[in-house]
Structure 1
Amino acid sequence: MPRRGGVAKKDGPESGEDSDEYRKRRDRNNQAVKRSRVKSKQKTQETVHRVNKLKEENTILEERVKTLTKELGFLKELFLAHASNSVDKSKFSDVDLQKLVEDTSTPGGSNT
């Protein structure tokens, strides 16, 4: 009886499924498939690990940005308070205080 969906077997002792050559090819193929699956699984695990590590790093960096943004706002307010109360206002004559206040409102320091 011929195999389904495959090529019909040739008659003879060397062409059957029980031949040594056929078994060796099947064994080699089975081993190759196992190696391929292990390699694929390992690559997937490494990718998942890298994604998780990058997510953690991103969270840490986002928190750092928030902290630095708050610190920048505080320092600008402190500077503006000091500049407006300074006895010697000529020190700050070159500073555009309005632009400095506007820059505080956007992350990155620019309104453009």
Structure 2
Amino acid sequence: IRMPRPGLEGRSEPYAFKEGLRLLIRQHPNMKGVEKTRLALDDMRVGADSFPETFLRLAMLDARLPEPELQLRVDPDDPWSPSADLGYRRFRTAVQYDGAPHLTRDQQS
């Protein structure tokens, strides 16, 4: 569940919350796909910016790595501090996912 960045976007609240999704599942128990949604809800985390970041986090968990923090800020007390997509503060390790759009000549220069 992606958290918006109020200084960069015109909103401060996410489009959905886990509790709201749980309520929707309870209200529509016979809707197609609700069982898969219920299972996926357990794997959802607040803070992922994209599906590839989520896929990476799940792959790390499948590899038996500990659950990483999402949007890990270098200085957690500074809202403008640079952040990594995910990582482990206690191991001083940050992971940044940059997909194919970041491989263009303009992005690399």
Give the structure with the higher percent strand.
Answer: 2
Mark the structure with the bigger radius of gyration: 1
* TM-score, structure 2 as length reference: 0.28
Give the structure with the higher percent helix.
Answer: 1
* TM-score, structure 1 as length reference: 0.28
